[in-house]
A = this chain, B = another copy of it.
Amino acid sequence: VTQLPPALCEDEVVAAIAAIAGEPRNRRILLGIGDDAAVWQPSRSHRSVVTTDMLVEDVHFARDLMAPADAGWRAMSANVSDLAAMGARPLLATVAFGFSAASAIADVCEFYCGMAQAALEAGLTIAGGDLSRAPVTTIAIAAIGEVRPSDLKTRGGGRPGDVLAVTGELGASRAGLFAAQQSGLLTGALRDKALAAFRRPHARWREGRFLAASRNVAAMMDCSDGLSTDLDRLCRVSGTGAVIESVPVASEAAHAAQALGEEADRFALAGGEEFELLVAIRPRAFAHLAARFLAQFGRPLLRVGRLREEPGVEYCGAPLERGGWDHFAPAWKRN
């Protein structure tokens, strides 16, 4: 989830920055600013992928809601998720790590342990970094992966008629945020599941590689800013609109929404900081691919809608606003 000052609109800043950066000057850089990761060609038959993600204390996490190791896990997982969204295999990462004068080495190591655990889970090596003082804990990771040229997926390949699907139910991480803030909101196993989804979300890199290997997967990205926001992005790059037919809501999200007096589907659409992948699939191939996905992962590939020619994202017969995640409020204060 990108966090910007209130006075600035994210799209405006990115457009200004892209104009300053200019077009790639080297024709071996195949994809620059604008997707989940950048792509270049180290040799004719190879593609490398790089992404970066910054996590700032009191912007992306608060210590009273999340342990340092959890914050480290999330910082690394956010990068792995971006590689997954390109269909890439995680390979290595660098960690630029700023911490305050009040930090002790045990504290620093706890953040690092979370990063190392997430790296291990993804088969990725932490291969370098930089240390700095900073006013608050600041972790900026760059992660590098590899993908076969034929497997590379971007946000831009969708066509009208493509089936939209996600790799898992939505809203669990958001439920976990509220459960961490309001101790009575959820109880028992639901609470545990929600907190785990919030504190230790799993990047879907295995699923990403599986889906990338199918030539019928036309576009892919992760849902780290919530389906309502990220689907709109996919549509804009693909030059399509979309209809959301159904929203797969995690049970912990449904319970949290009920306790908060919100509609479960809207609650889940406005999720974020979860790493399910959103894919556009050629319609004739969906059933077969979903069956193979189920056999491979023991979980269904969940249909959420379809791409259409008409611009905009529609849900329940009305235009869907980019929702939920308020880019101008700290993530841990959102409600």
Interface residues of A (CB under 8 A from B): 2-8, 10, 12-14, 16-17, 20-22, 24-26, 28-29, 31-35, 37-38, 40, 42-43, 45-46, 48, 50-56, 58-60, 91-92, 94-105, 108-109, 112-113, 116, 119-120, 123, 125-136, 138, 140, 142, 144, 146
Contacts and interface: CB of A to CB of B under 8 A. Distances in A.
Contact of A131 (B13, B45, B58, B131): B13
Contacts of A16: 105, 108-109, 112
Contact of A12 (B8, B55, B101, B105): B105
Nearest to A129: B52
Given A52-B130, A112-B20, A132-B56, A92 B38 contact: yes
Contacts of A102: 5
A318 to B, nearest CB: 30
Contacts of A26: 91-92, 123, 125
Contacts of A10: 131
B134 A56 contact: yes
Contact of A29 (B33, B92, B116): B92
A51 B94 contact: yes
A17 B48 contact: no
Of the candidates A12, A46, A54, the one having the most CB atoms from chain B within 10 angstroms of its own CB is: A54
7 contacts: A2-B130, A4-B133, A32-B127, A40-B92, A50-B128, A56-B132, A59-B132
A272 to B, nearest CB: 14
A99 B35 CA distance: 22
Contact of A20 (B3, B12, B116): B116
B5 A140 contact: no
A13 B46 contact: no
Contacts of A119: 21
Given A54-B97, A56-B138, 20 more contacts: A3-B131, A3-B133, A6-B101, A13-B108, A16-B108, A16-B112, A17-B108, A17-B112, A24-B92, A24-B127, A29-B125, A32-B128, A38-B127, A50-B50, A52-B130, A52-B142, A98-B138, A134-B136, A138-B140, A144-B144
Contact of A132 (B3, B50, B104, B133): B3
A292 B33 CA distance: 40
Nearest to A26: B125
Contacts of A127: 21, 24, 29, 31-33, 38, 40, 50
Given A25-B123, A98-B138, A125-B29, A4 B54 contact: no
